[in-house]
Amino acid sequence: MINKVVVFLKLPLYHYILSFKLNLKIGGLSATAEQRFSSFLI
């Protein structure tokens, strides 16, 4: 039970780090896409 919770908490963190690395590779393109997405949410 506790192990499942730990994995569940680690997954978003891993996903965030992975997407952050991808953003670094892509560079400015993802930054503009992120701004568009955030403006779309607002």
Token duo for residue 41: 């949410």
**Residue 37: inside a domain:** no
In contact, 34 and 42? CB cutoff 8 Å: no
In angstroms, the CA 20 to CA 24 distance is: 6
Q: Per the structure, how many domains does the chain have? A: 1
Predicted local distance difference test score (pLDDT) of residue 28: 63
Count how many residues are written for the chain: 42
DSSP code, position 27: T
For residue range 28-42, list pLDDT tens digits in order: 665 677 677 777 765
pLDDT of residue 3: 82
Judge whether 42 lies within some domain. no
Task: Say yes or no to pLDDT of 19 above 80.
Answer: yes
Tell whether 5 is covered by a domain: yes
Domain that holds residue 22: 1-28
**Rounded to whole angstroms, how far apart are CA atoms 24 and 30?**
9
